[in-house]
Structure 1
Amino acid sequence: MKDKIKSIISQMTLEEKVSLCSGKDFWHLKGIERLGIPKIMVTDGPHGLRKQSGEADHLGLNQSVRATCFPTAATTASGWDRENLFDMGKAIGEECVQEQVSVVLGPGTNIKRSPLCGRNFEYFSEDPFLAGEMSAAWINGVQSQGIGTSLKHFAANNQEKARLVSNSVVDERALREIYLTAFEIAVKQAQPWTLMCSYNRINNVYSCENQWLLNDVLRGEWGFQGLVMTDWGAMNERTKALEAGLELEMPSSGGYNDKKIVEAVREGKMKEAVLDRAVTRILTVILKAQEVKKKNYDKDQHHNLAQKIGAESIVLLKNDGMLPLNKDVSYAVIGAFAEKPRYQGAGSSKINPHRVEGALEALRNMGIKCEYAQGYELCSDEIRQEIIDEATECAAKADGAVIFAGLPDSYESEGFDRSHLDMPKNHNALIEAVAKVNPNVTVVLQCGSPVLMPWKDDVKGIVLSYLGGEAAGSASAKVLTGEVNPSGRLAETFPMSLEDTPCYNNFAKEAKDVEYRESILVGYRYYDWADIPVLYPFGYGLSYTDFSYEGMQVEWDDDSGTGSVKVTVSNKGKRAGSEVVQLYIGKECSSVMRAPKELKGFQKVFLNPQETKTVKLMLDKRSFSYYDIEEHGWTIEDGNYQLYVAASSRDMRLKADLKVKGKVIMRSPEYKVTDVVKNGRFSCSREQFKMLFEGEFPITPQMDKISLNSTVQEVLEKEAGRKSFQEMVDRFNKKFDGEDDLNIMMRAMLKDMPLRGLAMFGEAAMGDIEKKIKDMN
């Protein structure tokens, strides 16, 4: 292939080379007919294929072809099952083959820094090791079918607020250990065909033009072989991005940025070899895509796979003896989500499924005697007493009640972040009212991220199904009835309150600078370090059976930097089930700021009643390493480490100490709990945060003039801005005046959108916007 690509490039004009470096339209890469280079299609799809059948618009306002809607990443990560992720990716790859889509845009691998991030349903975990392992498995599954993937959003994109212009201010150690590690694992284990840059800046440099990130780290250290593309509309300075290692701009600037590249080469400001390097990488993807022949997939098989993965990812949070359900008694099934489930997130990942199964119908088909009551309205959080009264009357006559509740699309979506952790007030009111008339209540939660549970002590069962895909209803029914023994484990912490989260004071504020003051103390790392109680800990989940752990054995060789932990796991109960064996490593006496323990291995194991198996978890140098900011590399601190085999981050079953050879470390910059945790809340000042940085603190410089990166809100605050852009903004708003989730998302995004973003949505050509800016200034 290398010789063929070299031959093609030798025949190309400068303009033809440049033309390949941006999209033909929203979903296609350009081809060159005279050289036999075809256009290829890319499309959204972290949890299914979203190929638009009509005119493309990126956001899904136009209908997409029918495809299998698999459970979202928040759900599948709770399964802790690499094989399921591979199988899901393989199935999505098969659907891409049928629809002649060459690259599917996913997986979303960003860390859940805060449970408020509106797009958390599309991401795997707060833990980089788990997120990386899940991502790699999914990518390998898709690419086993000859279909490419696009690992996204690279990097430090952890909120929706102002995501096109925000500046993630993050110290080097946190960036490496928390925000880049998942991407590193995915690149090294799976080599995705493409990688998608995030919109935001990292320490004041846009991701898509970040030489250090794209060339030094991604390609130089990790050995990435594919091409790098922008997120849609993320391009800032085109020639700078090309030199930094970003090949493909999506969708297109209408020739505006292509012209800049041509001028830069002709004027000697950029070497043509830089362009040839980019074209080589783009052609590699295009030619690889042509090797796949169209074939049809089995829709029923994929639906059944979605059901299997959904059921095996459900987390049983509480069970005081009510579950599994009993076919000999009667139940009230309550809540509109039982009939019309919320099974996927809102935004650009929204799938048009073949069919959707609700839990009410599934329970009845499985022989559960039940009556139904609506309980609340789907499109409102208003408490309507007459609907709640109907539900309580239904519940009072039944032996038990199963309530389906959670978060509607309007509460969590791409484009905006949540402002609180509460469920709709009518959902909470319903649960509280039903619990007063029936002592046997189970709540099934359909949501993409953590919620508060003020009624937790008033119910006997809590089942977290997250967003379970098109078979969410039948998957839930299988777990509720015991046909499937729940084996999901939380891939994120459920906090007691929003104020308990470490980034509470530094998340999604109005300022463009987002200071990651909590540094490496994200998720369970922080809660354990500060000894903060949680609602449910990372890694937690119950089963209908009991498991025991025995015989922990640790092997380690300092010279090779390899080893393993073996443990014997037994099913002591009467039901077959799967346990997730988790390995955490900590260092009690360290000269480096550390969490008490970090996840370094896991394995899901299926056991029949009374069966015993040995689980082997592998160790390597990174199992014990931290990122040394003095050496700018990974370092093992010399000394004793504690290894824990656990059922969750707060349920340590076995412990072993291990002496590991390494570097003797002098005390490094760090936080002390007593200095940064006040009254149980993380409260770190900017001055304390600055200790973790070398050199100038990388915040946004003050700008008096309007630029392409000025937001719509900033521009409209000026009289000249209103005269120049108000009509354009009003026209944009008129396009999105509906009340469905996509229109709400777009209106929320508008005020934080940079002026260059208006060009992507067709409101004006980039040149016209630049002229208006020049006239204003």
Structure 2
Amino acid sequence: MVLLTTRVAIGFAAALFTPFACAQDVITSDTHFYGQSPPVYPSPNATGLGNWADAYSKAKTFVSQLSLEEKVNLTAGGPETNGCSGSIPAIPRLNFPGMCLSDAGNGLRSTDFVSSWPSGMSVGASWNIDLAKSRAVGMASEFRVKGVNVALGPVVGPLGRIAVGGRNWEGFSNDPYLCGSLAAETVTGIQSTGVITSTKHFIANEQETNRNPSGNVSAVSSNIDDKTMHELCLWPFQDAVHAGSGNIMCSYNRINNSYGCDNSKTLNGLLKTELGFQGFVVSDWGAQHAGVASAQAGLDMAMPGPGSFWGSNLTMAVNNGSVPESRIDDMATRIIATWYQFGQDKTFTSPGIGVPKNLAQPHDTVVGTNSSYKKTLFDGAVEGHVLVKNQNGALPLKSPKLISLFGYSAKAPDNFDVNNGGWNNGGSSLGPQDTVTANRTTTHSQIASNGTLISGGGSGANQPAYISSPFEALSQRAYDDGSALLWDFHSSAPNVDPTSDACVVVGNAWATEGADRPGLRDDFTDGLVLGVAARCAKTVVVLHNAGVRLVDRFVDHPNVSALIFAHTPGQDAGRALVALLYGDANPSGKMPYSVPRNETDYGGLQNATLPEGVYEYYPQSEFGEGVYIDYRGFDKRNVTPRYEFGFGLSYTTFTFGNVAAVLAGGGCGKAPYMYPTEEVVPGGRADLWNVVATVTAEVTNAGDVAGAEVAQLYVGVPGGPVRQLRGFEKVFLQPGEKREVSFGLTRRDLSTWDVVAQEWLLQRGTYRVYVGASSRDLPLTTSLKI
């Protein structure tokens, strides 16, 4: 049996300023990780770190009263008695009602009387932590009313490494700092209601292609070095654990050739030891691939059921000595402690009461929607739109008399299939979206042609209480204004009334769980835009995009006056768009990813990895680019994107000034808390969260319209990327108003992961500091010297 990985004996004071030992950008021979996942045993018992002590005290008392069979029953899903994605059976004699786990991180699906919330990518585009938290609270209130103990989200993996990734829309951003910050607010918000978050998918789960074994082909292996793991993939999970996430879901893929739910290095070593995770680990549905091995590797709960691995076989494994009963005790204790931690033993709704097994059959009505969160739903939809082109002030529209509306994503969806879980809810297949017209020259899964795209597909899809389409919202506006509206949703070359004040073309980019996208643009939509622009002097393009969408085929056309990335805005899609088009709301969204000019700009990170050569049956995805994805990669390779990370336009203008950066404690040697400690809290070493420097700047609304700007802080850490996001603040300003923004930089923010010391270490040297409106619009610069 291999002991837990230990730190190399190295003087902390000396090591603190030791630059990363290898000058290479990527460590392909990293003995701690790359290519073969090292064993880390035994699985550590949780001890009740931080504010978990009381929950653990209660849980240990509870578990001590259970038989072995009862403890084992807690570790896997039971019989399906409701519509929950997974259920843990009750233990009536101890007043444990069981647990309901349900999809997903963007709203409760497969039931009625719930909302379609703006999806993760729209939250990322808002760059608004307050809105993210409000959304989380509102969304979780629906889960709670419906009796869902565990909401299967938020998503922080995939992180968007692969541009065509089918699930990128479920997560917040391609940047680990932005993703982690919004994930932490989401975890805090959801769990404030007593609902447990299942932060997923742990870890390095960056493609849908070959995510599961099929026939003789195993799941893809994400081969990643230790430095990249910590500075990129693990970062947002660390934020979620620090925020108190009660559950982590392990992923389908292999990590360094060991399955995610059987991987002792990632589960025992990284999650439960290094991050001090106190909750329980649940498998993604069907992601368990071993019995004894997964138990010893740190898996605590298998879903959707015990299958052939656990259940009576796990009991047998304990009885024959293959698995120590202490491991079963820790599994059960972690699960019950999490139940206690969020007060679910007190006033929580009966598990699954509002999630009927079959919506098409008579069932009790349990209303989850709450009018208190109407504004949050609407604001989230609005702020998830990003205006990236506005030629000659084309927007907002100024008292138009005639609007012409085109495009398949402008109309309400064609159907709502209650037997299939509702609109846009096709599980791991294309489902109801697989209806693209046969006479189109695009691949069938490029677009969702049957109506407004409010979310992507699969388990992350959410359920609308209603859908406000652009057509419906524009129709209402025409009624209110006494103006006119013409429309054509289906023609590839529609007729255009030359007296139109503006022509709005609404398309989309479809993505779903279970399949990576076949491309980043489609001929039909590009041709539609160009056809309308050829006949209309003011053409406004709106894309409901569940992922990156390339636009270079049409964006430079002189009549394409405006372009909006609408993302996946949820049920208020149309209402939000019209508010922005007419200036009732001022655009404030920013790109949570970069949009390049061509596919080749990704430098190998466009498409998913496929089996090939000697790896015909064991596909290997080499994370050889290290931390250089998205804007970090574009900066490194000196590639100019079409729209950079953090970019977004407004109807007003903002200026920045008076930047200052101050090191806490006066600098090196005067702030002892800047040095590593041994204390571990949920999320890692306690000192990592200490603020060691502060940057301030001023933002002024220099225009004549009230609006919001996202002040962004980037830092060049010695030895790392030229700049990395390390702070942001969204400020709402009246015309002429000035406000100071302040960014606290933690020890982790300014450190790099040292693979030899196995520590986050500050670096001796000069840290360049940048403040501005995007990753490439940074008018303010200063520095910190350590």
Q: TM-score, normalised by structure 2?
A: 0.77
- Give the structure with the higher percent helix: 1
State the partner residue of 2:474.
363
Instruction: Give 1:74 shift.
Output: 0.8
What are the residue-to-residue correspondences of 1:400-439 with 2, within 5 Å? 400-407=502-509, 411-423=510-522, 425-439=523-537
CA distance 1:607–1:109, shift in 2 (3 Å): same
What are the residue-to-residue correspondences of 1:470-549 with 2, within 5 Å? 470-504=571-605, 507-511=608-612, 512-549=619-656
Q: Distance in 2 between matches of 1:404 and 1:476?
A: 10
- DSSP-derived class of the 2:656 partner: strand
Query: Alignment partner for residue 289 of structure 1, among 330, 333, 344?
Result: 344
- Of 26-35 and 12-21, deviating more is 26-35
Instruction: Give 1:579 shift.
Output: 0.3
Query: Alignment partner for residue 329 of structure 2, among 261, 273, 276?
Result: 276
State the partner residue of 1:12.
66
Instruction: Give 1:4 shift.
Output: 4.1
Residue identity opposite 1:539 in structure 2: G
Q: Is the 8 A contact 2:291 2:309 kept in 1?
A: no
- Of 504-513 and 206-215, deviating more is 504-513
- DSSP-derived class of the 1:460 partner: strand
Q: Distance in 1 between matches of 2:226 and 2:56?
A: 37
Instruction: Give 1:494 shift.
Output: 0.6
CA distance 1:298–1:353, shift in 2 (3 Å): closer
Q: Is the 8 A contact 1:644 1:654 kept in 2?
A: yes
Q: Distance in 2 between matches of 1:276 and 1:345?
A: 39
Q: Distance in 1 between matches of 2:139 and 2:570?
A: 13
Q: Distance in 1 between matches of 2:278 and 2:656?
A: 42
State the partner residue of 2:195.
147
State the partner residue of 1:78.
125
Query: Alignment partner for residue 346 of structure 1, among 457, 482, 489?
Result: 457
State the partner residue of 1:736.
none
Query: Alignment partner for residue 185 of structure 1, among 211, 227, 239?
Result: 239
Residue identity opposite 2:751 in structure 1: S
Within the alignment, does 1:565 sit opposite 2:672 as a pair? Answer: no
Within the alignment, does 1:643 sit opposite 2:769 as a pair? Answer: yes
- Of 613-622 and 213-222, deviating more is 213-222
Q: Deviations over 1:681-701 (max 9, x none)?
A: xxxxxxxxxxxxxxxxxxxxx
Q: Distance in 1 between matches of 2:339 and 2:77?
A: 13
Q: Deviations over 1:733-760 (max 9, x none)?
A: xxxxxxxxxxxxxxxxxxxxxxxxxxxx
- DSSP-derived class of the 1:656 partner: strand
Q: Distance in 1 between matches of 2:626 and 2:726?
A: 19
State the partner residue of 2:750.
624
Q: Distance in 2 between matches of 1:37 and 1:530?
A: 56
- DSSP-derived class of the 2:466 partner: coil
State the partner residue of 2:681.
none
State the partner residue of 1:118.
166
Q: Distance in 1 between matches of 2:762 and 2:62?
A: 47
What are the residue-to-residue correspondences of 1:323-334 with 2, within 5 Å? 323-334=395-406
CA distance 1:327–1:37, shift in 2 (3 Å): same
Residue identity opposite 1:542 in structure 2: L
Question: May I ask how many residue pairs the two structures share in their alignment?
Answer: 627
Residue identity opposite 2:573 in structure 1: A
Q: Is the 8 A contact 1:146 1:292 kept in 2?
A: no
State the partner residue of 1:720.
none
Q: Is the 8 A contact 1:303 1:470 kept in 2?
A: no
Q: Distance in 2 between matches of 1:290 and 1:484?
A: 43
Q: Deviations over 1:281-300 (max 9, x none)?
A: 11223444232345965533
Q: Distance in 1 between matches of 2:548 and 2:328?
A: 45
Q: Is the 8 A contact 1:502 1:518 kept in 2?
A: no
- DSSP-derived class of the 2:97 partner: coil
Instruction: Give 1:628 shift.
Output: 1.4
- Of 539-548 and 507-516, deviating more is 507-516
State the partner residue of 1:582.
712
Query: Alignment partner for residue 42 of structure 1, among 88, 91, 101?
Result: 101
Within the alignment, does 1:440 sit opposite 2:499 as a pair? Answer: no
- DSSP-derived class of the 2:334 partner: helix
Q: Distance in 2 between matches of 1:286 and 1:643?
A: 43
Q: Is the 8 A contact 1:545 1:572 kept in 2?
A: yes
Residue identity opposite 2:128 in structure 1: D
Query: Alignment partner for residue 302 of structure 2, among 249, 265, 268?
Result: 249
Within the alignment, does 1:214 sit opposite 2:267 as a pair? Answer: yes
Instruction: Give 1:450 shift.
Output: 1.3
Q: Is the 8 A contact 1:66 1:351 kept in 2?
A: no
What are the residue-to-residue correspondences of 1:669-748 with 2, within 5 Å? none
Query: Alignment partner for residue 132 of structure 1, among 180, 190, 211?
Result: 180
State the partner residue of 1:461.
562
Q: Is the 8 A contact 2:163 2:606 kept in 1?
A: no
CA distance 1:570–1:94, shift in 2 (3 Å): same
Instruction: Give 1:439 shift.
Output: 1.5
Residue identity opposite 1:179 in structure 2: C
Q: Deviations over 1:207-240 (max 9, x none)?
A: 2122222222212222211111000000011222
State the partner residue of 2:424.
none
State the partner residue of 1:263.
316
Q: Distance in 2 between matches of 1:487 and 1:39?
A: 43
- DSSP-derived class of the 2:294 partner: helix
Residue identity opposite 2:334 in structure 1: R
Within the alignment, does 1:100 sit opposite 2:147 as a pair? Answer: yes
Q: Deviations over 1:452-493 (max 9, x none)?
A: 211001111001111110001101111111111000000101
Q: Is the 8 A contact 2:220 2:253 kept in 1?
A: yes
Q: Is the 8 A contact 1:502 1:522 kept in 2?
A: no
Q: TM-score, normalised by structure 1?
A: 0.78
Q: Is the 8 A contact 2:410 2:489 kept in 1?
A: no
Q: Is the 8 A contact 1:199 1:231 kept in 2?
A: yes
CA distance 1:335–1:21, shift in 2 (3 Å): same
Residue identity opposite 2:693 in structure 1: G
Q: Distance in 2 between matches of 1:656 and 1:355?
A: 49
State the partner residue of 1:392.
495
Instruction: Give 1:200 shift.
Output: 1.0
- DSSP-derived class of the 2:642 partner: strand
Instruction: Give 1:95 shift.
Output: 0.7
- DSSP-derived class of the 1:281 partner: helix
State the partner residue of 1:687.
none
Instruction: Give 1:399 shift.
Output: 2.1
Q: Deviations over 1:486-518 (max 9, x none)?
A: 000001011111221133377332341111121
Instruction: Give 1:145 shift.
Output: 0.6
Residue identity opposite 1:309 in structure 2: G
CA distance 1:552–1:328, shift in 2 (3 Å): same
Q: Distance in 2 between matches of 1:230 and 1:525?
A: 32
Within the alignment, does 1:205 sit opposite 2:258 as a pair? Answer: yes
Within the alignment, does 1:299 sit opposite 2:370 as a pair? Answer: yes
- Of 359-368 and 72-81, deviating more is 359-368
CA distance 1:543–1:198, shift in 2 (3 Å): same
